[in-house]
Amino acid sequence: MGREKKHLMQGNAAIARGAYEAGVHFAAAYPGTPSSEIPVELAQYKEIDVQWAANEKVAFDEAMGFAISGKRAMAIMKYVGVNVASDSLMVFPYGGTLGGFVLVSADDPGMHSSQNEQDNRYLAKVAKVPMIEPSDGQEAKEFIKEAFEISEQFGLPVMLRTTMRICHTKFNVGGFTERVEAAPKEYKVDIPTWVVPVFAKSKRAILDDKFSRLEQFAETCELNVIEEGDKNIGIITSGAAYQYAREIFPNATIFKLGMTWPLPKQRLIDFCSRFDKVYVMEEQEAFLEEHLRIYGVTNLMGKDIFPSTGEMSAALVDNVVNGAEFIPDYSKEFPIIQRPPQLCAGCPHRGMYYALKKSKTFVTGDIGCYTLGCLPPLSAMHTSFCMGASIGNGFGFARGGMERVVAVIGDSTFIHGGIPSLIDTVYNKANMITVILDNRTTGMTGHQDHPATGYTLKGEKTFEIDIEQLVKACGVEFVKKVDPYDLEESYQAVQEALAFDGPSVLITYRPCALLESEKRKPKTPFMVIEEECIECGACHKLGCPAITKVVGNTVIDYNNCTGCSMCEQVCKPGAIVTTAK
């Protein structure tokens, strides 16, 4: 027999492949690291209708409706996106589903690209929905197929919880099979079943009965595996943490949980009774440990020795359990040049931030590439919390007495969660500016399209939302489009908006410099005439990574410069000129 053919693929690609093999027909998502690649991978399969939604709740609701109609569907988002969709998540189980429904929640232990560290295992518990967690790419592919089966068996949505290391690590994945079309379920009009608010009390009892059956199912679920080994070392773990446990304790007896809600209560109690001490290895909160203690298990070593924040690693496990220094830490012995994140060369956001700083404004920010405007030398953003918060936060500051308040939000984020807040600034007569940074893409997560770009996830042309007209429809009287590459135009626009009595909106309109369409355009970089430069530092205040110093002299990196001309505009001596001259 020949060896099984395996494919090297990212965990997110494995999830997409598993969904395809499971016969999923519809998927909706909003981009968010570390989940963004899953919808893109799904888009290669013509059998699947996959799309970007305006936000995560819209994505969830669309997939929910599709599943209730009788066919398999999934909603995909990073963990904070589940917060946005949580209203629907908490009610959906009361009505249940006909077709299989899987919610992919991609958590980010260690906050590699996130604003908080949140353990969404607790949301599955609160929602009373089953949850499964793969520990590698192979399981990611197989577990999502099992998730659809569980969903249809119990008529409930299922959460597939992953983490950054599962999403973005590349694994050898085999066992590819042909797509299996699940038989569609017939939807019938049934008001007591599908109109939840009116019948919620009776439906709660039905949900509790489903969950009781789920608890029984968990005891025999084949996703929960005990790997027998050393009779003296017992470990309970799940997800990526399993890999670290197995690497450091190759001979231990490990209870690897694939279904982490509901938990197999009796099997866990029996397992723990076999050992004097059981290590509970899990990232983030003490979810497994807490429930084990509720079950009366006391011989546990969990968060009393392992951290409840950040990622786990083989080095951490070895250090905590064995006191070993698995990988020597040389970081303090060898000084390394700091390379903080920064706005890219040619980033159109830079021009508006420069104008806002010059105008001495107070800026409430949002989530996106433009969050980097808070860093020096621009230091032009003063608050930032979560998606869509900038306008509401700005409203609060303005009402609280702060003057010259400006809320900054990206085009995709404005559509995601900024529109209601903007309407409120009009309705409640806020005296503030909203700046919508329209760079024609969802930049930070990887240049995904959105409703204002005119293209779908599959690259098909569609209606392009006109942000300017949308803002006017919200009732904003002062609306002005600005070219952020023109620093004087941007500054004057800010002055006009500040002078306006009432809510005003500025829309910067320039594509992200890293879009392929922009990179293909011919560029004319700029250069510094050394004899003319007085080293005043004005160009450095832009914070452009193409501008640097070599042996004390200011130079512009020809290969990095995009020719945006902002440096030329701030150079009073005229020492910066285009290379075309």
Same domain, 471 and 570: no
Strand partners, 175: none
Same domain, 230 and 216: no
10-14, 327-331, 444-448, 548-552: which has the minimum mean pLDDT? 327-331
Residue 334 falls inside a structural domain: no
- Residue among 163, 96, 162 at smallest CA distance from 129: 96
Residue 343 falls inside a structural domain: no
The yes-or-no verdict on residue 334 having pLDDT over 80 is no
Which pLDDT does position 2 carry in this prediction? Answer: 56
Strand partners, 255: 226, 236
Q: Which residue has the tokens 């379920």?
A: 185
Same domain, 405 and 295: no
Handedness of CA 417, 419, 420, 425 (dihedral sign): positive
353, 373 contact by CB (below 8 A): yes
Residue 452 falls inside a structural domain: yes
Residue 328 falls inside a structural domain: no
CATH at residue 83: 3.40.50.970
Contacts of 14 (CB under 8 A, 6+ apart): 137, 138, 140, 141, 171, 173
Q: How many residues does the chain have?
A: 581
Which pLDDT does position 328 carry in this prediction? Answer: 66
With vertex at residue 24, the alpha carbon angle to CA 18 and CA 29, rounded to the nearest 5 degrees, is 90
CATH at residue 539: 3.30.70.20
Burial status of residue 386 (CB atoms within 10 A of its CB: 0-12, 13-18, 19 or more): middle
CATH at residue 252: 3.40.50.920
What digits encode the pLDDT tens for the residues 443-496?
999 999 999 999 999 999 999 999 999 999 999 999 999 999 999 999 999 999
- Determine the Cα–Cα distance for residues 581 and 579; give it in Å rounded to an integer: 5
Confidence (pTM): 0.95
Q: In a 3-state reduction of DSSP, which class is residue 173? A: strand
Same domain, 153 and 176: yes
Tell me what the mean pLDDT of segment 427-433 comes to: 98
Which pLDDT does position 338 carry in this prediction? Answer: 77
Q: Considering its fold, how many domains does the chain have in total?
A: 4
Residue 329 pLDDT grade (very low, low, confident, very high; cuts 50, 70, 90):
low
Residue 553 falls inside a structural domain: yes
Same domain, 498 and 532: no
Tell me what the mean pLDDT of segment 99-105 comes to: 99
Which pLDDT does position 323 carry in this prediction? Answer: 81
What digits encode the pLDDT tens for the residues 36-82?
999 999 999 999 999 999 999 999 999 999 999 999 999 999 999 99
181-185, 308-312, 388-392: which is most confident: 388-392
Same domain, 242 and 216: no
Q: Which residue has the tokens 């597939």?
A: 160
Q: Give residue 163's domain range.
A: 7-220
The yes-or-no verdict on residue 380 having pLDDT over 80 is yes
Domain endpoint, select from 200, 220, 240: 220
Same domain, 71 and 214: yes
Same domain, 104 and 27: yes
Residue 316 falls inside a structural domain: yes
The yes-or-no verdict on residue 256 having pLDDT over 60 is yes
Which pLDDT does position 325 carry in this prediction? Answer: 64
Domain endpoint, select from 170, 196, 220: 220
What digits encode the pLDDT tens for the residues 110-154?
999 999 999 999 999 999 999 999 999 999 999 999 999 999 999
Percent of the chain beyond pLDDT 70? 98
Same domain, 162 and 230: no
Residue 1 pLDDT grade (very low, low, confident, very high; cuts 50, 70, 90):
very low
367, 387 contact by CB (below 8 A): yes
Same domain, 286 and 400: no
Same domain, 67 and 195: yes
Same domain, 285 and 374: no
151, 19 contact by CB (below 8 A): no
Residue 418 falls inside a structural domain: yes
- Determine the Cα–Cα distance for residues 491 and 493; give it in Å rounded to an integer: 5
Which pLDDT does position 348 carry in this prediction? Answer: 97
Q: What is the mean pLDDT of the chain?
A: 96
Neighbouring C-beta atoms of residue 426, cutoff 10 Å: 16
Pairwise pLDDT comparison (552 vs 542), residue with the higher score: 542
The yes-or-no verdict on residue 3 having pLDDT over 80 is no
Which pLDDT does position 129 carry in this prediction? Answer: 98
Residue 2 falls inside a structural domain: no
Domain endpoint, select from 186, 201, 220: 220
Residue 336 pLDDT grade (very low, low, confident, very high; cuts 50, 70, 90):
confident
